[in-house]
Structure 1
């Protein structure tokens, strides 16, 4: 007996005894809507068989083989749980993916069908896509570890991405989760670099997890590669405020002043940059020369307890040769100089990612992206404009599943 005949007989039974259902429900499960789904393998066709591989540049296609039934639903996901968008024809005879498949991925496709009597059928198929040729690799930064409240997250791409659509694809695949939750977002520093920061500094004690879901996703003519995930721990909120006009460096931990140090900053022509900077590195010894910054007056000095805040060579460091000017005048070539004892204390107190803010200088403002992390000098509205995705508050699909479900064509 065919599955259709079985369903018809069961349906007849249900109709005959319906008035007696209060006394006996033996045939209740014979109704088509409550019947166990039949295997719809003979009813549908794929452009990939179990165990086969398909080209991710081509759409996934599913069709009904004959007129005995129709497709009612299709759900396709990869091993990472990402949904594939699709479109079902109005008559239910064919379904076609409308979003790109990932390269080198395994997919599971679940198809629901219905025969002429309304009985439900099911079919599940698995397949792999062929590996990617050209890859778009992503490197997340910084390395896992403990950082200050000002530390941005970075994503470095192996190739330039310029179109808004491709940038949005990349950005949506980069995930940042924090405990406690904070408002934050990505911005494009250039065609190959993205930065993520919260609206305000990270909360002290927060944990931040960063991962990429770009692996296998098509971006232009390339497919995304895998990336090593990160876990950051945020330490105490340590802030250093250099007042170039008052010649002081004030250090605060979690809002409380813990020390004020007399300093000297950049002299006229070498004025220290104003604005918020993030500590990039700590170097117990650095050889500083006039050639390294293009200074006209020659110098070649061994420098100890140097805390770097720009890639071009701005540090907070020991400057025993200028102790007479510290707290009174600005005589450096742009760095913040202090006594050896104070520099050692500062070096031991701060960590990478802590914040250094310069005020009261005649220097230019710290730039956002080309000389270290000047990210905090960009106001939040402008930062969000550097994103390629829909800003928070705009309309988006309710869930990933909803956005990938069937959409009948017209």
Structure 2
């Protein structure tokens, strides 16, 4: 299959990666070549072909793709080998503009690429090029991926990538093109950036289907990210989506309703943030779970701060709002808001929630009068689909609008 950076696939999965071949990556119906390199043709044919990197080019980023410009034929094979003859696997993008190596190239290494294009009548054209990669960059962009191999997540789990420092608008499209997501069964989605460029989210139009497999590759190792910086490394993970469990908290009733696969499985009385420390309303996601922790606000609140041992805490915002056990507020739960912004529940309800929730489960709070800020937590579900699409640095296919 070919690669699609935006995740729109005709074939039933979003962008997929092929396994390395013993000698080359056979790509039915695609094309490529090498500018400045040698070209051979089986016969006269209306084929125009050029590729990048140009022959002999040095100091090429280790994120390099074999770029293709082709008319009159389709790429049928691509081979990339290092100076020791080791084959590098990879795959052609959906639009045929380049072939993407399956892993970051080695630094200060010579590579040779061979691309074969074939017409519908069987005429072929072959192009070759050689290039040498650069050494280790002086400045790097740190990256993080909030998804781990062999984990099971809730249906609202976005793919979350973090960048430090943030990626400026002018550089986001190039970075976004190197972030690949494959879903099975197919649920095409889109990347969307926070305003600071420190995070990018990937989601589909609706929550993931139960049983979905997410396969992610953030292929930014050695990629120019702006300001003379390069991505620190490639990151990837393959994970599963579990059952559909959702929590809804209503300030008017001071109650949480928990549904699983559409059926109510638990209700719990709650106490939300007091007037001076209101809870936020919005569509949030469980980001972290801590069976035992200490809430310490003395650094930010000084003498007015506090240190309190907490059990069964589930983070839902970066600003410090959690769902957690609050035995001291049981008498107020269902009646009055007394917390510092968190969703207080009884110890028994807190333990049940902790035992039954997954990171990535959605939680919606309504009626507090204070709106959740975008980026305060994993917030891609807190905006409409149309608004979410505006955050993409690449054109969004019409099929996803």
The structure 2 residue matched to 1:142, chosen from 131, 134, 147, is: 147
- Summarize the alignment of residues 6-405 of structure 1 with structure 2, pairs less than 5 Å apart: 37=42, 54-56=58-60, 78=80, 79=88, 80-82=90-92, 106-110=111-115, 125=128, 127-134=130-137, 138-144=143-149, 145-164=151-170, 166-189=171-194, 190-215=196-221, 217-220=223-226, 221=228, 224=231, 226-291=233-298, 294=301, 299-362=306-369, 364-369=370-375, 371-393=376-398
Contact 1:102 1:216 in 2 (8 A): no
Aligned-pair CA distance for 1:368: 1.9
The TM-score, its normalising length taken from structure 1, stands at: 0.67
Rate the CA distance shift 1:225–1:132 in 2: closer, same or farther, 3 A: farther
Alpha-carbon deviation of 1:297? 5.1
CA offset at residue 288 of structure 1? Answer: 2.5
Q: Is the 8 A contact 1:140 1:227 kept in 2?
A: no
Kept in 2: contact 1:265–1:331 (CA 8 A): yes
Separation of aligned partners in 1, 2:306 and 2:143: 41
Could you tell me the TM-score, scaled by structure 2's length?
Answer: 0.68
- By how many angstroms is 1:244 displaced? 1.4
Q: What is the alpha-carbon root mean square deviation over aligned residues?
A: 3.9
Structure 1 position 136, deviation (Å): 5.1
| Residues 1:256 and 1:187: Cα distance change in structure 2 (over 3 Å) | same
Q: Which residue does the alignment assign to 1:98?
A: none
Q: CA deviation at 1:163?
A: 4.5
Contact 1:184 1:196 in 2 (8 A): yes
Name the CA distance, whole Å, in 2 between partners of 1:140 and 1:377.
21
Structure 2 counterpart SS, 1:229:
strand
After superposition, the Cα gap between the structure-2 partners of 1:129 and 1:329, relative to the gap in structure 1 and judged at 3 Å, is same
The structure carrying a bigger helix percent of its residues is 1
Q: Write the distance in 2 (CA, Å) between the matches of 1:47 and 1:354.
A: 44
Mark the runs of 5 or more structure 2 residues left unpaired by the alignment. 1-40, 44-50, 67-71, 81-87, 99-104, 118-122
CA distance, structure 2, for counterparts of residue 47 and residue 291 of structure 1:
56
Q: Is the 8 A contact 2:169 2:197 kept in 1?
A: no
Aligned residues: 320
Q: 1:261 to 1:295 in 2, by over 3 A?
A: farther
Secondary structure of the residue aligned to 2:156 is coil
Q: Secondary structure at the match of 1:294?
A: helix
Structure 1 residue 311 displacement after superposition? 2.4
Question: Larger C-alpha radius of gyration, 1 or 2?
Answer: 1
